[in-house]
């Protein structure tokens, strides 16, 4: 019996079990729809599945040593292709067609993605999927497999395709050549055409558990599980986000999050408006996302304080002192605030007007912290 391992994907045991059973039973579908929050392991699992299907070893897959595995890891296998949103620079396109420099940038981006499967996108600029790339991938799918038993295509960010590209993909999903395995990845399933989703087997990736993230971080960065720095980054629900926070200690962003939270708690509207204006002037969308990720941590911590029996925020908020500004939040308030943070992160990724995003967040946070509005909206 062939032993299957997942060298890149941490956690997600249920997803792995489903795919392992399909591979072992010869019942693997031609199209899978991987959905889940950013950095939860969708690309890692897709890469591992490609390695498993294309590996030449009959006993341990992937072996990470055979010619096929080496080609996949170096993005040189004729039966393995990746497509994903990229940020093109001046000179990468000419007359709406990719130049040689553009194709090189795409190849470099895929190589980097394979080398760092949990990397989060840089939101300073809005990435796109060039139509030339979609056509090239379509040709790859239609020509079928060349060397191995499968022809694997990963489309990371299927929600980024424009209407024409999405309709073209729909046709490919209807009648793919034998041996084709299409892996469609998204953290925005609602933005994908229902007709595309309906032609795929859906696998939902769960939030990564803190213990799983802690174990993976300890292995990746060779630190003991008792390292106190881990406590600040293991509750994101996303291994990718936790890696980013570990590699980019954000003392300044953390301080900004503390300031904004405390201003909302004290209803200091003038100071809050000034803070929002200063933040908006930076234009650093990566920092904005990290700010809201920090806010997610504060919601979690405040809710845990409530579980520990700390006096409820709504009965003490008016008498809150400078030494006791964090407060606690009820379960209902925590749900509202978590949804608020996730919507704000989504708005940052879409490059929405950041002043409006921050202002809406501050108003909604203040209302919820003070018990003035307790329903999701």
pTM, two decimals, is: 0.71
Which CATH superfamily is 3-204 part of? P-loop containing nucleotide triphosphate hydrolases (3.40.50.300)
- Helix (H) / strand (E) element for 61: namely strand 60-61
Domain boundaries, the chain: 3-204, 250-369
Residue pLDDT tens, the chain, 377 long: 678 999 999 889 999 999 999 998 888 888 999 999 888 999 999 999 999 999 998 888 999 999 999 999 999 999 999 998 888 888 888 877 888 988 998 899 899 999 999 887 765 567 788 888 888 888 888 888 888 788 899 999 888 877 777 777 777 787 788 888 999 999 888 888 888 888 889 999 988 888 889 998 998 889 898 888 888 788 888 888 888 878 876 667 778 888 888 888 888 888 888 889 888 887 777 778 878 888 887 787 776 655 444 444 333 333 333 333 445 667 777 888 888 888 888 888 777 889 999 999 999 888 887 876 544 44
Half-sphere exposure in the Cβ direction for 218 (13 Å, CA): 12
Give the 3-state secondary structure of residue 183.
strand
Residue 347 near residue 357, CB atoms below 8 Å: yes
Q: Give the ranges where 40-193 is alpha helix by DSSP (H).
A: 42-54, 67-73, 100-115, 131-143, 163-174
State the Cα–Cα distance between residues 325 and 302, nearest whole angstrom: 11
Task: Write b or e for each residue in 24-40: b if 16 or more Cβ atoms lie within 10 A of its Cβ, otherwise e.
Answer: eeeebebbbbbbbbbbb
């Amino acid at each position: 019996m062939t032993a299957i391992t997942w060298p890149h994907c941490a956690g997600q045991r249920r997803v792995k079990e489903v795919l392992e059973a399909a591979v072992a039973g010869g019942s693997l579908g031609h199209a899978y729809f991987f959905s889940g929050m950013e950095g939860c392991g969708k690309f890692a699992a897709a890469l591992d599945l490609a390695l498993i299907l294309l590996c030449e070893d009959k006993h341990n897959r992937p072996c990470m040593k055979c010619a096929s595995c080496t080609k996949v890891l170096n993005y040189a296998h004729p039966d393995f292709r990746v497509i994903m949103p990229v940020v093109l620079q001046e000179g990468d396109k000419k007359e709406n067609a990719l130049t040689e420099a553009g194709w090189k940038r795409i190849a470099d981006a895929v190589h980097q993605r394979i080398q760092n499967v949990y990397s989060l996108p840089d939101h300073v600029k809005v990435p796109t999927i060039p139509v030339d790339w979609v056509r090239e991938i379509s040709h790859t799918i239609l020509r079928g497999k060349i060397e191995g038993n499968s022809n694997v295509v990963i489309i990371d960010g299927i929600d980024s395709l424009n209407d024409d590209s999405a309709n073209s993909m729909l046709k490919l999903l209807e009648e793919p050549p034998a041996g084709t395995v299409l892996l469609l990845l998204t953290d925005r399933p609602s933005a994908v055409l229902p007709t595309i989703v309906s032609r795929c087997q859906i696998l939902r990736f769960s939030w990564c558990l803190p213990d799983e993230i802690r174990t993976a971080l300890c292995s990746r960065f060779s630190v003991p599980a008792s390292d106190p720095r881990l406590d600040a980054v293991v509750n994101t629900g996303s291994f990718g986000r936790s890696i980013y926070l570990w590699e980019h200690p954000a003392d300044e962003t953390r301080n900004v999050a503390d300031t904004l939270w405390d201003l909302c708690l004290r209803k200091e509207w003038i100071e809050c408006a000034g803070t929002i204006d200063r933040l908006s002037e930076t234009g650093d969308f990566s920092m904005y996302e990290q700010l809201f990720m920090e806010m997610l941590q504060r919601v979690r911590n405040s809710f845990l304080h409530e579980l520990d029996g700390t006096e409820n925020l709504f009965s003490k908020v008016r008498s809150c002192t400078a030494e006791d500004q964090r407060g606690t939040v009820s379960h209902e308030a925590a749900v509202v605030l978590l949804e608020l943070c996730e919507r704000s992160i989504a708005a940052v990724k879409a490059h929405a007007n950041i002043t409006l995003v921050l202002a809406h967040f501050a108003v909604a946070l203040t209302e919820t912290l003070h018990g003035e509005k307790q329903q999701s909206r």
